[in-house]
Amino acid sequence: MTCRGSEIRERRVMMELFKEYYYYLDLLAGYLSPVVLFLMLRSGRIDSFMWRVFWLGAFLGTLWEAPIFILSGEATALPIIIWHNPLPAHYVVFLICHSLWDGLLFVIGARLVMVLCRGPHFQSFRFRELAVLLLWGQASALLVELSSTMNDGWSYIEYPWNPVLFLFNGHNITTLIQFVWAAAPILFYLTAIRIKANAEFNTKNQKKQT
């Protein structure tokens, strides 16, 4: 019983430490993602398509991260999220970080497409590829919100246009970000197909010239 009680106390201490440093871990993972992917590109572990996909995803992420963070960080009349603990840096630092996170999530989604779908990938519209991206988008968006609310990071504020799905750790899990990740993968997928086509076209032209 004593051993069991000691294990429980250790777990609680670890959880509290994770909560205390949650924002810092969030920043570390976000800002390290382009560095790690660049090193993977240089070592040949990913190709230039995946590198471009990352920046496409980061750009798309900015389209919703910017209004969310600006409206919530400038004391506006329409804040979207609430931070349950003070941010250790300016909200713009987190805006950029979360956009990079979005790029990473899109890269993971693209890798899942390559694992779960028959090749060639991102050559033309295929519902199976889009379905993988949509399912991953919904799952990853929910996991991020559950992680945040579990660690008292941030949660979305309830509005008539952003109803609460359920409560987790006493905080809201709402529909807004799920709607975002239902639309964003479609735009991502269609653009990724264009990127792949342009890359292959340029490669063919280079071969002809040589």
Burial of 30 (0-12, 13-18, 19+ CB in 10 A): buried
- Decide: 49 and 63 in contact? Cβ < 8 Å: no
Structure tokens of 192? 């990724």
Task: Tell how far CA 132 is from the center of its chain.
Answer: 15
DSSP of 116-171, one letter per residue?
HSPSSPSSS--HHHHHHHHHHHHHHHHHHHHHHHHTT-EEEPPBTTB-EEEEETTE
Residues contacting 140, CB < 8 A, separation 6+: 105, 108, 109, 181
In this structure, the number of other CB atoms found within 10 A of the CB of residue 101 comes to: 23
Residue 15 confidence (pLDDT) above 80: no
- Decide: 140 and 105 in contact? Cβ < 8 Å: yes
Burial of 199 (0-12, 13-18, 19+ CB in 10 A): middle
- Decide: 138 and 181 in contact? Cβ < 8 Å: yes
Q: Is the model more confident about 8 or about 53?
A: 53
Domain limits of the chain? 2-209
pLDDT digits (tens, 9 = 90+) for 130-184: 999 999 999 999 999 999 999 999 999 999 999 999 999 999 999 999 999 999 9
pTM, full prediction: 0.90
DSSP of 43-67, one letter per residue?
TTSS-HHHHHHHHHHHHHHHHHHHH
Nearest-angstrom CA–CA distance, 12 and 77:
38
Residues contacting 24, CB < 8 A, separation 6+: 88
pLDDT band with cut points at 50, 70 and 90 for residue 210: low
Residue 90 pLDDT: 95
Give percent of the chain with pLDDT exceeding 70: 87
CA angle 125, 131, 134 (to 5 degrees): 115
Nearest to 142 by CA among 107, 168, 106, 109: 168
